[in-house]
Amino acid sequence: MSILVAKHLKKYYGEGETLVKALDDVSLQVERGEFVSIIGTSGSGKSTLLHMLGGLDNPTSGKVIIDDKDISGLKGDKLCIFRRRKIGFIFQSFNLVPSISVYDNITLPIRLDGKKVDKAFVKNVIDTLGLENKLDTIPAKLSGGQQQRVAIARALASKPAIILADEPTGNLDSKTSLDVLGLLGTTGKKFNQTIVMITHNDEIAQMADRTIRIEDGHIV
């Protein structure tokens, strides 16, 4: 049973002469525990695809099924709660809450959902990502790489059905990128976490179990 299924996804903008097909009939499946990277140049449609997969944008037609649920049927609060429970996001710009500590950032999605924090699991995640000495610090005091490690910890801590990472190393230098990708790959395996990562850099293909290439809105 696949954890993520996308069926015939299309996203069109404009019409007639100015019609732009950002995504043109994209179908894919991701199995539980898999680490899949989606590679494409800028303008290939990869970010549009990730937005559809994460319910951040609606497709013109087609379906996205996460953990057996067709998310195109979900609207407003329901979609919001669904995303909080099922999807961990890692963005290029980290998106940490600046006013609270690293630890509070990591456990925020769990607490927002009114769940109990699995302390042993969260500690394991924190140690694996080398954040044990930064827990009381606020994000602004951390380097870019460290902030992204916090974002990875936050995504892992709530044990989501799937983690979607959008150019997670886009704002980092090449050395720090190596760290972040290495950690993303090794923690994914260690905690059996399904990860879908978008990138334009094929150097990192090896970290993933599988690579999907996208060009002009098509899978190639």
Confirm or reject binding of residue 186 to other proteins (CB under 8 A): yes
Are 164 and 83 in contact by the 8 Å Cβ rule? The answer is no
First to last CA, the chain: 24
Confirm or reject binding of residue 123 to other proteins (CB under 8 A): no
The least CB distance from residue 95 to other proteins, in Å, is 21
Residues 193, 219, 11, 45: is their CA dihedral positive or negative?
positive
The two beta strands, 4-13 and 61-66, are: antiparallel
Are 70 and 76 in contact by the 8 Å Cβ rule? The answer is no
Name the amino acid, one letter, at 51: H
Number of neighbouring beta carbons within 10 Å of residue 155 = 27
Confirm or reject binding of residue 17 to other proteins (CB under 8 A): no
CA distance 14 to 25: 17
The least CB distance from residue 68 to other proteins, in Å, is 5
Confirm or reject binding of residue 151 to other proteins (CB under 8 A): no
The least CB distance from residue 118 to other proteins, in Å, is 12
Confirm or reject binding of residue 81 to other proteins (CB under 8 A): yes
Confirm or reject binding of residue 54 to other proteins (CB under 8 A): no
Q: Which residues bind other proteins (CB under 8 A)?
A: 1, 3, 32-33, 67-69, 74, 77-79, 81-82, 85-86, 113-115, 128, 130, 143, 145-146, 159, 161, 175-176, 178-179, 182-183, 185-186, 189-190, 192, 205-207, 211
